Amino acid sequence: MNLLILFILFTFLPGSFMSSAIHRCFCKVTGSLDDCACDVETIDSFNNRKLFPQLQKLLSSDYFRFYKVNLNNPCPFWTDSGHCGLRDCAVKPCTPNEIPEGLKSSSYKYSLEGNRDTEDCEMAEKLGAVNSSLSDETRLALLDWNRYDDEADRFCMHDDEDSPDSQYVDLLLNPERYTGYKGLEAWKIWNSIYEENCFNSLLVPGRGFYQWLEGLCVEKRAFFRLVSGLHASINVHLSARYMLDDNWYERRWGPNVTEFQLRFDEELTKGEGPKWLRNLYFLYLIELRALAKVLPFFERPSLHLYTGQTQQDRKNKELLLELLHMAKSFPLHFDETTLFAGDKKEADKLKNDFKLTFKNISRIMDCVGCFKCRLWGKLQTQGLGTALKILFSEKQIEALHQSSSIKPSFQLSRQEIVALFNAFGRISTSIRELENFRLLLSELNQ
């Protein structure tokens, strides 16, 4: 139906419709953002000119390109989810020989069962056998990394780290893009995310999403804007990497302006499309703020982005710290102290509801029928969950500089680190792609 509408408009109303195409998609994607001190233009300039190129370089390194995921979890919410049979829905896992040795060693987990001294000794031998150049301090830090249990601070499920069904996937060889899958699950999943969560008592039947959103407290409003921003980002990716040509000698991917309009044009989305894009910028600010706040964790000398390639690992950490300092230099960060700042008892309950709701969303990703979509959905929800964990662990992160103990007050697993930066990489890419769609839409008028 939407394609038919576009065809009619393109064919019979070229002047009135096409002349305002860019306006209808981006008319509200400008100026200051709600609940923030920042504006769209500042984010565009900072991301597209400074941060985006550095981030892409980091994400192409071995430490960040390999992600461990279990794509075989059953859907916990309904039983009629079918799997996509299209070839572009498939995910190719890594063979053991393709995984860097250092990443294999970091997958060892500390067990709470059995004798702790024995476990520590065996773990030290395994780590030492892989990299004899590690200092005693670093080995102890790695042991503690594996032992640390921060389940109470997590905002998403982490079953993939320990599951025997999990496999490493090369993210560069399995890019997020339009797969052609049009299963019913896509609608059911986003409907569940928006409506079937612990805040659903706030929804009023028959009213639109934004009709009641403005009346919510800042925390609940932020939650839904994050989900909406994530949804918008994924739609931008699918429009930007669309299959334009598929024949026996060539498969060509690129931006599809018509698809972008179907997803964000104000007239085709009942006025909501530009608002969804604004929520993408809100999500960007949240994840950027998390990168700025987590800097002390990565500045510790004992932390290594270890893959077994000493020289490259050192360069990757230098690049990572440069990127985090760049994030910290952003002039108009989101102020997370405005969240959960009321009565302590009520704030704690709301924060707990926030966590439980987001964990529920991370479980919903196991219902996605397209495996490539499931991969990127799980990664991006874990990345956002990690960002939220960082934002609300300020005291623990500050304590990293105040304590000389080898046991840190705040920890991130490698899985969380990879998800955090790759998820932000997706948001950063979306912001960059919007600049390209602005240009393409403007060229339609010429």
Question: What are the b/e assignments for 167-176, b being 16+ CB within 10 Å?
Answer: bbbbbeebeb
Of 84, 156, 367, 370, catalytic: 370
Contact 123, 107 (CB under 8 A): no
**Known catalytic residue: 370?**
yes
Report the C-alpha gap between 229 and 128 in whole angstroms: 43
* 3-state class (DSSP) for residue 408: coil
Q: Which residues contact 417 (CB under 8 A, 6 or more apart)?
A: 386
**Cβ count near 179 (within 10 Å):** 19
Please report, as a single letter, which amino acid is at residue 382: Q
Q: How far apart are the first and last CA of the chain?
A: 27
Question: What are the b/e assignments for 325-359, b being 16+ CB within 10 Å?
Answer: ebbeebebbbebeebbeeeeeeeeebeebbbebbb
> Side-chain half-sphere of 131: how many Cα atoms within 13 Å?
23
Residues linked to residue 246 through DSSP beta bridges, in sequence order: 251
**Known catalytic residue: 217?**
no
Report the C-alpha gap between 243 and 256 in whole angstroms: 8
Environment class of residue 217 by beta-carbon count within 10 Å: exposed (0-12), middle (13-18) or buried (19+)? middle
Please report, as a single letter, which amino acid is at residue 100: P
Q: Is 231 annotated as a binding residue?
A: yes
Alpha helices in 61-155 (DSSP H): 62-65, 101-105, 116-130, 136-147
Contact 326, 52 (CB under 8 A): no
Q: Is 428 annotated as a binding residue?
A: no
Contact 351, 343 (CB under 8 A): no
Environment class of residue 16 by beta-carbon count within 10 Å: exposed (0-12), middle (13-18) or buried (19+)? exposed
Q: Is 263 annotated as a binding residue?
A: yes
Contact 327, 427 (CB under 8 A): no
Numbered residues of the known binding site for FAD: 177, 179, 190, 228, 231, 263
Numbered residues of the known binding site: 177, 179, 190, 228, 231, 263
- Residues serving a catalytic function are 370, 373
